[in-house]
Structure formats: structure tokens, C-alpha cells
Amino acid sequence: MALQVPEVTLRKLIEGFLLHIRNDYNANLADTTKSLLYAYFTGINDNKKNYFDEAVDLFTRTPDHARYIETRMFFDAQRGIIPTIHITMPSESVGMNSIGIGEGGDEGHRIVDGTDIFVQYERRFDTQYHIVCTSDNHSEVLMMYYLLRAGLISVLDSVALEGLENAKISGQELKINPDLVPNHIYMRSIGLSFSYDELVPRWWTDSLVTDICVRNVDIITE
């Protein structure tokens, strides 16, 4: 069983959702009121700012656009001024584990190959991830934040199927460290906490007992 790498799962999920949003809008050009972008942002106005129009401009950009949204599996300060989604892991702690070292006796933990037994160990982790939205345009940060949060809510069941269980969503404004990014960068983070199991094979194998030899032994009695 391959290692569980939540960053990869989250990146695929985010990029797949953004691609679906763009494709859905393009498929409804004849009547954009049927698009998901319209459902998410219609009626949201701030003074003269129409968030639906701005959302269309932001989320329908293609990779050849200079300000196309990209996803990073770490915090990439060099892309802070461009609409970017950064996946970071501020903490990971031990979850609810069985007593001992996590070796089970079922087929999922012992794989027999010929005369060798491959023992596998299992540990559970409680993890907190931050999905950080950055841009030098505060409206773009707000739209990325709220769209991604809506997208995560709608696919929590799929997140669980990927092995990221009991997912909970939170959010926060991030304080900017001027040593990392310029002061005019806006940042907001979606918190995603969940638990997952890691199943790993032991470095070495055990040998099966295939033959038992009983020898005659003289027993001396007084």
C-alpha cells in the first residue's frame, strides 16, 4: 500500500474543482445564470463592485494568462502577488491508536509471499492543513477563499473516500511577515483538519515455519 500524502490529495482536489468551475461556466455561455459561478456569486455587490463579474474574470483564466491561479504544496512567497493557493501543514499529532506498535493479525497487516511474512504497522494521525489564498488584490483573495470553502463543503464525502476522515473546515486571516512577503500582499487561510491512517511495511521479513523435526531424546531418570 502506497504512503498517504495528503498534500497530493488536496492539490488534486483543488485543481480539479477549479477546472470544473471553468468548464462549467464555458459550457453555459449561452445562459450564464445556469453556471456554478452565478449560483455562488450572483447578487453580491460591494459599492460598484460586482463579484459575479469579477469571479468570471478570475476563475475562467487559462494557464497562458499572466495571473492564472496556480496551486503550490508549500508556501511560495515568490508567487504572493499573483493569485495563488498554497497548501501548508502547520501541525500533525498522534491520533487514536491501538495499544502497542500497531501490528494487526488480519490480511491487511500480514502479507505472506512464499516462505516470508511481510509485517505491516499502522498509525493514525490527526492533522491540520492550511489552504492559503494570496494575491495583491484583496477581492481575488476573498473570492478564492469563499469559492474554495464552498467547494470543500460540497466534496467532504469524497475527501473521506480518499482516506481523510472526519474533516472539519475553519478559516482565519493571516498576519503578514514582512520578511517573507511584501506588505501589500493579502492572505486568508482555510483550515482543514482531519484524521488518516498510515500503513507501512517493516524493513525486514520473518520466515514461515515450514518443517518441524522431532528427534529422539534419551531421558535419564534416577
* pLDDT tens by residue, 150-180: 999 998 888 888 888 899 999 988 776 667 6
d(CA 16, CA 151): 10
pTM equals 0.81
Residue 181: all three cell numbers together: 512577503
Count of residues making up the chain? 222
Q: What percent of the chain has pLDDT over 90?
A: 50
Give the pLDDT of residue 115.
Answer: 65
d(CA 56, CA 25): 8
Name the helix (H) or strand (E) containing 125.
strand 116-135
For residues 49 and 116, which has the higher predicted lDDT (pLDDT)? 49
d(CA 35, CA 3): 37
Give the pLDDT of residue 85.
Answer: 97
Give the pLDDT of residue 86.
Answer: 96
Per-residue confidence at 66, pLDDT binned at 50, 70, 90? very high
Name the helix (H) or strand (E) containing 142.
helix 138-154
User: What is the rounded radius of gyration, in angstroms, for the C-alpha atoms of the chain?
Assistant: 26
